[in-house]
Amino acid sequence: MLSPVAGCSALPPNSGTKPQNTPNRRRHFISLLQNCKHNNQIPPIHAKIIRNHHHQDPFVVFELLRVCSNLNSIGYASKIFSHTQNPNVYLYTALIDGLVLSCYYTDGIHLYYQMINSSLVPDSYAVTSVLKACGCHLALKEGREVHSQVLKLGLSSNRSIRIKLIELYGKCGAFEDARQVFDEMPERDVVASTVMINYYFDHGDIDEAQRVFEQMKEKNVITYNSMIMGFALHGKSVEAIELFRGLIKQGLTPSSVTFVGVLNACSHGGLAELGFEIFHSMAKDYGIEPQIEHYGCMVDLLGRLGRLEEAYGFIRMMKSST
């Protein structure tokens, strides 16, 4: 993938002229940028910003970077940043976030270090973005360095940072580190607990996944989905179905993903009649129209039991529904 920060010389040179009528003009340009729907609207507005000498206004530049990132123009955002004099931490963070959003993980990590080397102190948003980049790029070494900075900066209690650290270590296979970050959390919320449950199942540690689930003070349908799917994929059909029933008893509404998990459990457990019952309850009781994944579970269930004619019937239904 070609780096978007390469060849950043296509923009007009900076002018030393001061901005004209700064507050009103600034609001005007920010409003124009916020109303952009397509990336081809950005260059004309940017040209107008340059003509009015607002291309060094940090508020305007921040909005430019944000809009470029959201409209898939990260290369243009990088060019804007390269022509910005003495960018502050918010501008660095905006571009780092944009690079990560566009999957330029290495560039995001490099820009973070450039910010550090410029003697700027990263905020929690910058740290969260770079940790996501490290996790997606499996950059464990850099992730550990950022974690060390987090401790020095006193940001270790930040919830979003803790979750990104757990995700980073989990993706990189540093499971003991992930567990340590999780265990040190004073309040283990639903999101962090669900992340840990997923990683425990990924590593085949069913008992630990169940332990985390049982210790949760509050559970939502996403957490139940993780447990149901985890049990199903590890051959624990009875446990998955019991959790599905528990979800219903708790007054939670199952989602499409919930049904994929519980139908998988029925398939692995050879529970045809229960599978039919749950499949038909989707539309009847919950208004969820079966999708290809649900039909696939039923085909797998019937195929495992040698009921091939019925399986072919579901295949025909699956084709007619897509």
* 3-state SS, residue 158: coil
Is 181 within 8 Å of 165 (Cβ atoms)? yes
Instruction: Write down the mean pLDDT value for the chain.
Output: 90
Q: pLDDT tens digits for 133-144?
A: 999 999 999 999
Is 227 within 8 Å of 209 (Cβ atoms)? yes
At 186 the pLDDT is 81
| Sign, CA torsion 151/154/157/163 | negative
At 189 the pLDDT is 84
Q: pLDDT tens digits for 277-313?
A: 999 999 999 999 999 999 999 999 999 889 888 888 8
Distance CA 14, CA 2 (A): 26
With CA atoms as reference, report the closest residue to 33 among 45, 50, 24, 44.
Answer: 45
Q: What are phi and psi of 87, to 5 degrees?
A: -60, 140
Q: pLDDT tens digits for 22-36?
A: 778 899 999 999 999
Distance CA 45, CA 47 (A): 5
15, two tokens: 């002018």
